[in-house]
Chains A and B, each alone.
Chain A
Amino acid sequence: MLVLQLLINGLQVGALYALIAVGFSLIFGSTKIFHFAHGSAFTIAAYVFYYAYSVAHIHWLPAILAASFATVLFGVLLDRFVYAPIQADEGSFFTVFVASFGIGIVVQNVIGMIFGRSFVSVATPLSRSIEIVSGLYVSPLSGIAIVVALLFFFGLQFFLMHTHVGMGLRALSENPELIRAYGLSPRRLSTIVFALGSLLVVPAAILSSADAGLNPAIGHHVMLISLAATIVGGVGSLRGAACAGLLLGMAENLALLYFEPQWSEAVTFIVLFLFILLRPSGFFGRAIAS
Chain B
Amino acid sequence: MLAYILNLATLICINAVLAITLNFIMGYAGIFSIAHAIFFGVGAYAAAYFSMHVSASLFLAVPVSMLVAGLLSLVLALPALRVRGEYFVAASLGLQVLGVTVFSEWKSVTGGLGGVIGIPPVELFGHAITDPVQFLLLTLGCLLPILLITNILLRSSFGRNLKAIRDSESAAHAFGKNVAAIKTLSVVISSALAAVAGALYAFYLGFINVESFMLDTSVLLMAMVIIGGTGTLLGPIVGTVLLMLLPSLFSYMWFLPQTEIGAIQQIAYGSAMVLLMIFRPSGIVGSRKRSNG
A-B interface, 8 closest residue pairs, ranked by CB to CB distance from nearest: A94-B293, A102-B273, A105-B270, A269-B94, A92-B293, A99-B277, A227-B90, A106-B270
Bound Cα distance A106, B132 (Å) = 35
A102, A224, A228, A276: the one within 8 Å of B83 (CB) = A276
Q: Give the residues in chain B near A105, CB-CB below 8 Å.
A: 219, 223, 266-267, 269-270, 273
Q: How far is the CB of A236 from chain B (nearest CB, A)?
A: 12
Q: How far is the CB of A234 from chain B (nearest CB, A)?
A: 12
Q: Does residue B72 face the partner (Cβ distance < 8 Å to A)? A: no
**Which of A's residues lie within 8 Å of B, judged by CB?**
34, 82, 85-86, 89-90, 92-99, 101-106, 108-110, 112-113, 117, 220-221, 223-224, 227-228, 230-231, 235, 262-263, 265-266, 268-269, 272-273, 276-277, 280, 288-290
Known interface pairs A94-B32, A94-B290, A95-B293; A288-B83 also in contact (CB < 8 Å): yes
CB pair B83 A92 closer than 8 Å: no
**What does the 1/0 interface line of B75-87 toward A look like (CB < 8 Å)?**
0000110111111
Bound Cα distance A280, B79 (Å) = 10
A-B contact count (CB 8 A): 146
Q: Give the residues in chain B near A280, CB-CB below 8 Å.
A: 82-83, 87
Q: Does residue B173 face the partner (Cβ distance < 8 Å to A)? A: yes
Q: Give the residues in chain A near B101, CB-CB below 8 Å.
A: 262-263, 265-266
Q: Give the residues in chain B near A277, CB-CB below 8 Å.
A: 79
CB pair A90 B281 closer than 8 Å: yes
**What does the 1/0 interface line of B253-293 toward A look like (CB < 8 Å)?**
00000001001101101111110011001000000011111
CB pair A290 B84 closer than 8 Å: yes
Bound Cα distance A117, B262 (Å) = 12
Bound Cα distance A103, B90 (Å) = 18
**Which of B's residues lie within 8 Å of A, judged by CB?**
30, 32, 79-80, 82-87, 89-91, 93-95, 97-98, 101, 104-105, 169-170, 173, 179, 215, 219, 222-223, 226, 230, 260, 263-264, 266-267, 269-274, 277-278, 281, 289-293
Bound Cα distance A220, B214 (Å) = 12
Bound Cα distance A288, B83 (Å) = 7
Known interface pairs A93-B85, A99-B277; A220-B263 also in contact (CB < 8 Å): no
CB pair A92 B290 closer than 8 Å: yes
Q: How far is the CB of A268 from chain B (nearest CB, A)?
A: 7
Q: Give the residues in chain B near A227, CB-CB below 8 Å.
A: 86, 89-90, 93
Q: How far is the CB of A251 from chain B (nearest CB, A)?
A: 13
CB pair A34 B173 closer than 8 Å: no
The A contact surface, by secondary structure, is: helix
B90, B98, B169, B293: the one within 8 Å of A266 (CB) = B98
Bound Cα distance A1, B90 (Å) = 35
Known interface pairs A227-B93, A231-B90; A101-B83 also in contact (CB < 8 Å): no
CB pair A94 B173 closer than 8 Å: no
Bound Cα distance A86, B269 (Å) = 18
Bound Cα distance A263, B98 (Å) = 8
Q: Give the residues in chain B near A94, CB-CB below 8 Å.
A: 30, 32, 230, 281, 290, 293
Bound Cα distance A235, B90 (Å) = 13
Minimum CB distance partner of A289 in chain B: B83
B83, B91, B293: the one within 8 Å of A290 (CB) = B83
Q: Give the residues in chain A near B281, CB-CB below 8 Å.
A: 86, 89-90, 92, 94-95
Q: Give the residues in chain B near A223, CB-CB below 8 Å.
A: 93
Minimum CB distance partner of A78 in chain B: B274
CB pair A98 B273 closer than 8 Å: yes
CB pair A82 B274 closer than 8 Å: yes
Q: How far is the CB of B89 from chain A (nearest CB, A)?
A: 7
Known interface pairs A92-B292, A280-B87; A102-B82 also in contact (CB < 8 Å): no
A106, A265, A276: the one within 8 Å of B79 (CB) = A276
A-B contacts, 18 listed (Cβ < 8 Å): A85-B278, A97-B89, A99-B277, A102-B277, A103-B270, A105-B267, A105-B269, A106-B274, A110-B267, A113-B263, A224-B90, A224-B97, A227-B89, A263-B101, A266-B97, A269-B97, A276-B80, A290-B169
Residue of A272, A276, A280 most packed against chain B (CB within 10 A): A276
Q: How far is the CB of B266 from chain A (nearest CB, A)?
A: 5
Q: Give the residues in chain A near B290, CB-CB below 8 Å.
A: 90, 92, 94-95
Q: Give the residues in chain A near B226, CB-CB below 8 Å.
A: 98
CB pair A95 B277 closer than 8 Å: yes
Q: Give the residues in chain A near B85, CB-CB below 8 Å.
A: 93
CB pair A82 B278 closer than 8 Å: yes
Q: Give the residues in chain B near A104, CB-CB below 8 Å.
A: 270
Minimum CB distance partner of B81 in chain A: A290
Q: Give the residues in chain B near A289, CB-CB below 8 Å.
A: 82-83
Minimum CB distance partner of A235 in chain B: B86
Known interface pairs A105-B219, A265-B97, A266-B101; A99-B273 also in contact (CB < 8 Å): yes
Bound Cα distance A97, B274 (Å) = 10
CB pair A99 B269 closer than 8 Å: no
Bound Cα distance A85, B279 (Å) = 9
Known interface pairs A92-B290, A109-B267, A220-B97; A34-B86 also in contact (CB < 8 Å): yes
